[in-house]
Amino acid sequence: MKKKIYLSGPDRLLKNAKEVFEQKRALCEKYGFELLEYPEEVYKIKDTFENSRAVAEKRMELMKECDIVIADTRDFRSYLEPYSEVALEMGMAYALEKKIYSYMPDTRVCCERYSGETHYNEAMAQMVDENDVGFEPGPLNLMLEFSSTIVKGDFEDAIKKAAEDLQKGDLN
């Protein structure tokens, strides 16, 4: 039986979301996985609280069904954090004891990717920004970092890593 993948990321916001989803579905099939459908295909998108809640609840149901979560953790809208929905879904996946792969094109530590000024704060013993706010020591918030396998690259790189782990027996 194929392992089921839940896709977490901002791709569903794209104008060509369905096309992007189908491309990712094809990659999943190529590597021996099944990609679960976006719940937005089940519910017609309307700008209502009730519809939003129904979609969110369906996503949570799908998360329980999956074996693996593949999360797009690239910097969202030029910030050093992924899309907020991704962070919530990764937390839920971790609580459900799902295997999580997060992918991002740049895995340098946060302070190296930051576009503003940085310096080392002796008292805090860490790198900080121009407002003396500290940076996480890795490429992601530590709660997201420790709960996932971080893959440098794109969706296909994450799927390849999951397939390698499956062959090695590292996926239950």
Identify the helix (H) or strand (E) that includes residue 168: helix 155-168
Whether the CB-CB separation of 68 and 35 falls below 8 Å is answered with no
Q: What is the structure's pLDDT at 172?
A: 60
Cα–Cα distance measured from residue 57 to residue 74, given in angstroms and rounded to the nearest whole number: 25
77-87 tens-digit pLDDT: 878 889 999 99
Whether the CB-CB separation of 117 and 128 falls below 8 Å is answered with no
54-73 tens-digit pLDDT: 888 888 999 999 999 999 99
96-140 tens-digit pLDDT: 999 999 999 999 999 999 999 999 999 999 999 999 999 999 999
Q: What domains appear along the chain, each with residue ranges and CATH number?
A: 3-107+139-168 (3.40.50.450)
HEC secondary structure over 75-98: CHHHCCCCCHHHHHHHHHHHHCCC
33-48 tens-digit pLDDT: 999 987 765 445 566 7
Q: What is the structure's pLDDT at 17?
A: 86
- Could you tell me which of 105, 38, 99 has the C-alpha nearest to residue 70? 99
Q: What is the structure's pLDDT at 38?
A: 77
pTM of the model: 0.90
Identify the helix (H) or strand (E) that includes residue 155: helix 155-168
